[in-house]
Amino acid sequence: MLLQGEAVLLRVENGKNLEAAQEGATQLTRVWAQHADSATKEGKLGPEADDGFTKANYLASLLLRIHHPHRLKAPQAPRSQQSSAVVKRSSENVCTVPRALLDWLDTYHNPFPDEFHTISQNSPSPSEHDRFWDTIYASLVRGRFQQAIVLLRHAGWENAYTAEEDSQPDGYSQRQLENIEEVAERAARLIESCPAVRYDDWDVKGSDWTAFRLRVRQAIKDLERFAGEEEEDEDADASKQSRNVFSMSAATKRAESKVPWSIYTNLKLSYDILLGSADEIMDASQDWLEASIYVAAWWDGDDDGAGVVALNKSSLRKSITSGQKTREVDLVPTAAYKRRLADAFAYVTDTDEPLFVPETMDPIQVGLGCVLSDGVESVIRMLRTWSLPITDAVVEVAALAGWLPKARPRSRGLLQQGFNSEDLMVLSHGPGAAQRQQPGEVVRDDVLSEFADALAEKDVLRSRDGKTEREGWELAVAVLGRMDDEMEGERKIGELLDRIELSDEARVDRILLACQELELVEQARGIAERYADHLASTTHSYGPALIYHARAHAPAKLKSTLALLTSLCLIHSAAIPTQADLDPHLASLLSGPRAALVALARTDADAANLLASHLSGYATLRRFYELRDQEINLPSGVKPPLRPLDRAREAATALLAVLTSASDCIRGGLYDPETESVVPVEGLLALLGETLPLLGQTKRVLSREQVFLLLRVVEDFETGGSRVRGDAGGLLGASLGVYREEVDGGGSGGRVGSMRKSRGEMSRSRSSAGEGGFGGSSWDLLASSTMALSRSRSELGANGVGKIMRGWDWRKGLDGIGGAAAGEDVGAREVVMLVRVALAQEVARGWSGGIGW
């Protein structure tokens, strides 16, 4: 029910017009009816069920039908309309207030639901039952005209219980029976000519009904003539003489009438009901609720209309004068009917008769009185104690349609102009604490906020068919997004989202989608960043972390994560994570089609551009390692797509691109922290080391331009300052330490010694560089890389794959260089020296013609 109701309210919110409110009211009452108990207390007022939802539905459905007339079920064309004999079309798309009110009674107020069936099936005949005429009256006031027609035509008058009242204990004579059948058939044909029967036309105030009422008055005169009454006072009220039935003249007429007097008076009473006579309608009503609704429903639109018993003038607010041609009910029918209902309720209950006095200790009866007297605020207060979903729906429809009581109607406009609740409270426009106590005001945001809090406590909501599933917070966010005070709504949404556990990507994606639909940009970025931080700190799912950092538009954290991955690759001189350890998202980001990046672009183009630009450095470095290791990692018997020399040259191109990016911030030997680069500068030494196997080859691998580019990078690094060299040395030391651990087989002594050396060197570099450091150059990053490697190695060993396989490893053979004999690691000086010597030899060979430049 909650899912269906919210779907309806979403359409109402998107429509933002009266048509949307009308359709929303119709759909809501139909949804509620599916989940509420419509059974009526037998012989009493109110629903039989005692649950809050059923009670709220009972009142709210009536309230919505008064303000937005509709039927619970789509109308069906009457039989006469289905034939070609009648060509007049009904207004099937428009439901009038009378039809809506009678439809509500048929659905929710049936104190004697089996009465018609009992009477129609009575043996020996329907007319033998003492409630025969009461059932006809009830059928007429409820608009069940076909039932009245059936009873009149199949009454079985020979067994009528009224015969005794007419001094015919043995039943009516044959002549009387013929006369009764004649007048009963006339009444049945008259009812069949009713616009509601012929055309399904329930515009009781309209011209067709005016013409019908003229036929009813003529039928009364015809009945009087047929019965033999004198026509001396045709202009008198049709029911006046029947009230003097015990006078001598009335007694004489009763004896001389061609139609038995009981039949005559009951038919005249039926005609008076068709004319909308208030007193006769009240006589035919079971209780004050029916009487109030019937008096309003059968109103002809003119308080002083001829032939209609006018209500107590002291309780009526006359909207038009009798001399005016245009009536209010023709211009604004809903407003006119609301006033008519309030007046009818006051008129009906202005009595000492217990049947027509509401029971003030019964909340349902009190609520019905509020509905009929247009006490919307009081009704909403009662609904709020029974069902928040129904209260929220009524408030939202009422607010859109303009009938929600508001003491400060200008507040919405000021809220849309950027004022918040506190500003409006100062300006005496907003829903401040003092103003909320003003009588007649309903604060819509209070209802929405309370409903959202209740929804947020729900876990998972599923539709009956199981096809739709939403969490409670999703509906709560949608409700808060409809608040008038947008700033307050966003604040509450932020608080709600902060409380949600970001347990999986599916939930996070739903949260981000909800924020996107409500245009809550900052909240969406905060959620994405929080989830990305969670992934980065607790898992090795780098792909999702990168995507959500991009969706958070957090370039610093995105760069930091990519710097970590790049540093891990340089430390292990391999593509890390390995191909077997890649999570699906990262694999998709690095693959040719980049499906994950395309999907991100459809959601957030800026985030996709941000991720693509920062990802390029890490992706290119991985490309270098994959090309280097391509031949050795291929299955046995499979040839690599590139020849060795072509593969080495392509790998060199990728490596030089990474080197260029890493050295962008030290151009000319001056460090520029403002320069954006996609590869951390502290990786320069390791990257220079990776170039060593590409230099001095028999066949040229590097072009002349690439060689001179390397020369420039080496010189820039040498003059780039101690801070840059210290960070690069720390990463180089960590890489060599990991290499020794691999060579030594993971011995604890070698590992601990290397880690201690790296920690000491890293501490020195951080002291010289300050606590901030660069991207992935902290000791914490190095410790993380060692743990990641240990995990990767243990998994590989368990699978029987062995250690990481490389096409070549530039670190091999460095142990005997420099100060290694003294027990110290190879440092920046030694690596730079090796690169310079190799470059000098490469240049010499190039200029001497030893290789083809």
Please give the structure tokens belonging to residue 681. 């500068």
Distance between CA atoms of residues 833 and 842, nearest Å: 14
Q: Contact at 8 Å (CB) between 574 and 804?
A: yes
Nearest 10 degrees: Cα torsion 520, 501, 503, 456 = -70
Q: What is the DSSP string of 755-775?
A: HHHHHHHHHHHHHHH-SS--T
Q: Contact at 8 Å (CB) between 272 and 239?
A: yes
Q: Contact at 8 Å (CB) between 543 and 586?
A: yes
Q: Contact at 8 Å (CB) between 270 and 238?
A: no
Q: Quick one: angle between helices 542-551 and 595-603, nearest 10?
A: 20
The percent of residues in the chain predicted with pLDDT above 70, rounded, is 79
Give the pLDDT of residue 705.
94
Show me where the domains of the chain are located: 1-78+91-111+286-403, 123-284, 504-633, 645-848
Place of tokens 């429809």: 397
3-state secondary structure of 471: strand
Q: Contact at 8 Å (CB) between 556 and 562?
A: no
Give the pLDDT of residue 594.
80
Beta strand 460-462 with 469-471 is antiparallel
Give the pLDDT of residue 843.
92
Distance between CA atoms of residues 71 and 420, nearest Å: 40
Give the pLDDT of residue 550.
95
Cis previous bond, 354, omega within 30: no
Mean pLDDT for 59-87 is: 72
Give the pLDDT of residue 555.
94
pLDDT in tens, 438-485: 555 678 999 999 999 999 999 898 888 888 888 999 999 999 999 999
Does residue 818 register a pLDDT over 80?
no
Q: Which residue has the higher pLDDT, 575 or 741?
A: 575
Give the pLDDT of residue 749.
38
Please give the structure tokens belonging to residue 551. 């969706």
Chain centroid offset of residue 612 CA:
33
Chain centroid offset of residue 853 CA:
67
Distance between CA atoms of residues 779 and 757, nearest Å: 11
Does residue 81 register a pLDDT over 70?
no
Q: Of 133-147, 392-406, 412-426, 593-607, give the range with the top mean pLDDT.
A: 133-147
Give the pLDDT of residue 414.
52
Buried/exposed 182-198: b ≥16 CB within 10 Å, e otherwise = ebbebbbebbeebbbbb
Give the pLDDT of residue 765.
37
Mean pLDDT for 50-66 is: 96
Q: What is the 3-state secondary structure (H, E, C) of 245-283?
A: CCCHHHHHHHHHCCCCHHHHHHHHHHHHHHHCCHHHHHH
Distance between CA atoms of residues 31 and 27, nearest Å: 6
Mean pLDDT for 517-526 is: 89
Please give the structure tokens belonging to residue 282. 């009240």
pLDDT confidence tier of residue 714, bands split at 50, 70 and 90: very high
Place of tokens 């959202």: 452
The one-letter amino acid at 148: A
Q: Which residue has the higher pLDDT, 829 or 239?
A: 829
Separation in Å, CA 535 to CA 81, 470, 557, 776: 68, 24, 12, 17
pLDDT confidence tier of residue 799, bands split at 50, 70 and 90: very low
Distance between CA atoms of residues 245 and 261, nearest Å: 10
Does residue 239 register a pLDDT over 80?
no
